[in-house]
Amino acid sequence: MTAGSSERRPSAAFEYLTTRKDEFVGWARKFSLFPYPFVTACCAMEFMSVSSTLYDTDRFGAALPRFTPRQSDLLMVVGTVTHKQAPILLKVYEQMCEPKWVIAFGVCATSGGFYQNYAALPGIDKIIPVDLYIPGCPPRPEMVIDGIMKLQDRIAGDRHAIINEKF
Amino acid sequence: MAEEATVAHGTLVLLIEPARLLEVVRTLKDTLGFDMFLDVTAVDWPERNPRFDVVWHFYSTRQHVRVRIKARVPERDPTVDSLIGLYGSARYMERECHDMYGIVFRGNDDLRPILLYEGFEGHPLRKDYPKQKEQPLVPYRASEARK
């Protein structure tokens, strides 16, 4: 810092902007989705495809997987969930901080798919709330990207109650 | 030793008395060189008495041949001898067979669920297990909340 620079001078055309709080927070949140991949089955291959170079979900701000649910806000359930595994999924979901969203990736996570038997959970929405369903066995990467964009549209349009009378 | 010997898909199939199982398997292992235990499973014939076939497969790593052993056990006492004294891996495969069909392996002291979970009632690969029956570990959410 040089002497005489204590006076703060405008350096660009826009020093301030006005916006609605919900729009601003929604914009920030929709481009900083931190997915937690709860990957159990063959849809994992499609998840790798969509998250790596060719389709690259990083372009949508949803690329960096966090392998602890406490640091993530998007739970992607990729593949079949069995009854035996359901308590683990519930525990992961409950560890995530608000705000959080859930994507059911593929038909097994959506409804159990063709596993209608003693072992498979017929859709993860039986135990946790789901925001977005992506059908397909497995879904095309384009469908996943379309799903992520739809979720982003929803986040952008949501109310984000971060400020209330106490803060 | 066998009641009946046939060839199916190029594999020798021996139907034996359940009581002679250990004797037959010991001969297969020690004399005939079937040194690898591949699996044990069961077949449910709901209309038949005795109801279950218990089926074992063995492989000879020197001769490169397989052999299949079958024994029939009734529904009211589906018990056969355990093979853990001859093949250590039988401990786990017998647990799975017990999970799925309820076959009891005399001499296997650890028949806890291996693929199923504690508290699961019934044996899901028996033909009379309802195929839509669910035994969830996590209570389902109310259906209104799911909309």
Q: Is the pLDDT confidence value at A99 over 50?
A: yes
- Which pLDDT score is estimated for A26? 87
Average pLDDT over residues A32-51: 89
The pLDDT confidence band at residue A161, using thresholds 50, 70 and 90, is: confident
> Lowest-confidence range among A63-67, A77-81, A128-132, B33-37?
A63-67
Rounded Cα gap, residues A34 and A100, in angstroms:
10
Q: Is the pLDDT confidence value at B92 over 60?
A: yes
What mean pLDDT value characterizes chain B?
90
Q: Establish if B113 touches chain A: CB-CB under 8 angstroms.
A: no
**Looking at beta carbons, which residues of chain B come within 8 Å of A118?**
124, 129, 131, 133-135
Hey, is B144 helix, strand or coil? coil
The domain spans of chain B are 4-106
What mean pLDDT value characterizes chain A?
85
Q: Which helix (DSSP H) or strand (DSSP E) does residue B104 occupy?
A: strand B104-106
Rounded to 5 degrees, φ, ψ at B37 are -95, 120
Q: Which two tokens stand for residue B12?
A: 């020798």
The pLDDT confidence band at residue A30, using thresholds 50, 70 and 90, is: confident
The pLDDT confidence band at residue A166, using thresholds 50, 70 and 90, is: low
Average pLDDT over residues A116-135: 91
Q: Establish if B129 touches chain A: CB-CB under 8 angstroms.
A: yes
Q: What is the pLDDT of residues A61-86, one digit of tens each?
A: 776 788 889 989 899 999 999 999 99
The pLDDT confidence band at residue B132, using thresholds 50, 70 and 90, is: confident
- Which pLDDT score is estimated for B142? 79
Of the candidates B133, B137, B138, the beta carbon closest to that of A118 is on B133
- Which pLDDT score is estimated for A4? 54
Q: Establish if B45 touches chain A: CB-CB under 8 angstroms.
A: no
The domain spans of chain A are 35-157
CA end-to-end distance (rounded Å), chain B: 63
Rounded Cα gap, residues B4 and B14, in angstroms:
6
DSSP letter for each residue of A119-157: SB-S-GGGTS--SEEE-SSSPPHHHHHHHHHHHHHHHHH
By the 8 A CB rule, do A84 and B119 touch?
no
Give the DSSP letter of residue A82.
B
By the 8 A CB rule, do B56 and B72 touch?
no
Considering the domain delimited by B4-106, tell me its CATH architecture. Answer: 2-Layer Sandwich (3.30)
The distance from CA A155 to its chain's CA centroid, rounded to whole angstroms, is 10
Average pLDDT over residues A83-108: 92
Find tokens 């683990």 and name the residue: A88
- Which pLDDT score is estimated for B29? 92
Q: Which CATH number fits domain A35-157: 3.40.50.1000, 3.40.50.12280, 3.30.70.360, 3.20.20.70?
A: 3.40.50.12280
Of the candidates B124, B129, B141, the beta carbon closest to that of A127 is on B141
Question: Which runs of consecutive H residues, i.e. helices, occur in chain A?
Answer: 21-30, 43-51, 86-95, 107-111, 141-157
Rounded Cα gap, residues B50 and B73, in angstroms:
5
By the 8 A CB rule, do B29 and B62 touch?
no
Q: Do B117 and A118 touch (CB under 8 A)?
A: no
Rounded Cα gap, residues A126 and B4, in angstroms:
51
Q: Is the pLDDT confidence value at A1 over 50?
A: no
Of the candidates A117, A118, A127, the beta carbon closest to that of B138 is on A127
Given strand B11-16, what is the order of strands in its sheet? Answer: B4-8, B11-16, B65-73, B52-60, B36-44
Q: What is the pLDDT of residues B110-127, one digit of tens each?
A: 999 999 999 898 999 999
Q: Establish if B112 touches chain A: CB-CB under 8 angstroms.
A: no
Average pLDDT over residues B55-77: 94
Q: Establish if B137 touches chain A: CB-CB under 8 angstroms.
A: yes
CA atoms within 13 A on the CB side of A159: 3
The distance from CA B3 to its chain's CA centroid, rounded to whole angstroms, is 20
Average pLDDT over residues A24-29: 87
CA end-to-end distance (rounded Å), chain A: 35
Q: What is the pTM of this model?
A: 0.83
Q: What is the pLDDT of residues B40-64, one digit of tens each?
A: 999 999 999 899 999 999 999 999 9
Rounded Cα gap, residues A46 and A105, in angstroms:
10
Rounded Cα gap, residues A111 and B57, in angstroms:
37
Q: What is the pLDDT of residues B6-32, one digit of tens each?
A: 898 989 999 999 999 999 999 999 999
